């Protein structure tokens, strides 16, 4: 469902496989460092969840999946009322699928689809990733059901 070739080459900390994603990560980190207004444990800048989402996506596409999942989990932990929460959940499960945690991704995506009112784009993303997880676990009938 998602076409991204995972490269097996090892990169050292501080190195990037693609300079564009490294630049996106730098921009997200810079935005977080300069504009975060975390006072008394409460964030007062409503754009920070978007910066963390950008950070997670940049790390995901740079194939640094563990740091990516940390960024998505941070959004889920710190910004539970965010309008980006469903996107963060979907991206976390995309990352779990890349980390071969297919069963966990299936459980979380099914819960998301059952409990949340999703936009059409989020619904399409969630069902396609659920189908991908089913394909990875060789449950082709379940995958076909998701894609219909």
Measured CA to CA, the distance from residue 148 to residue 131 in angstroms comes to: 10
Q: How far is it, in rounded angstroms, from Cα 80 to Cα 84? A: 9
Provide the whole-model pTM. Answer: 0.82
Q: What is the pLDDT of residues 51-60, one digit of tens each?
A: 999 999 999 9
pLDDT in the model for residue 10:
56
Tell me the C-alpha distance between 38 and 78, whole Å.
Answer: 10
Among positive and negative, which fits the CA dihedral 141, 107, 96, 3? positive
Q: What pLDDT score does 14 carry? A: 59
The pLDDT tens digits along the chain (148 residues) read: 566 666 666 555 556 666 777 777 787 778 777 877 777 877 777 788 999 999 999 999 999 999 999 999 999 999 888 999 999 999 999 999 999 999 999 999 999 999 988 999 999 999 999 999 999 999 888 888 888 7
User: What ranges make up the beta strands (E) of the chain?
Assistant: 38-39, 42-43
C-alpha to C-alpha distance for 131 and 139, rounded to whole angstroms: 9
Q: What is residue 43's predicted lDDT score, i.e. its pLDDT?
A: 72
Query: Which fold would CATH assign to domain 19-147?
Result: 1.25.40
């Amino acid at each position: 469902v998602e076409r991204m070739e995972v490269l097996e080459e090892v990169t050292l900390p501080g190195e990037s496989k693609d300079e564009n994603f490294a630049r996106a990560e730098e921009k997200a980190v810079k935005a977080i460092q300069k504009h975060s207004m975390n006072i008394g444990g409460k964030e007062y800048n409503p754009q920070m969840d978007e910066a963390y989402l950008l950070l997670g996506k940049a790390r995901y596409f740079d194939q640094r999946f563990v740091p990516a999942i940390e960024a998505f989990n941070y959004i889920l932990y710190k910004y539970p009322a965010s309008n980006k929460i469903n996107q963060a959940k979907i991206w976390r499960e995309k990352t779990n699928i890349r980390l071969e945690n297919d069963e966990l991704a299936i459980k979380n995506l099914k819960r998301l689809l059952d409990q949340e009112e999703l936009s059409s784009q989020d619904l399409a993303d969630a069902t396609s990733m659920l189908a991908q997880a089913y394909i990875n676990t060789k449950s082709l009938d379940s995958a076909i059901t998701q894609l219909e």
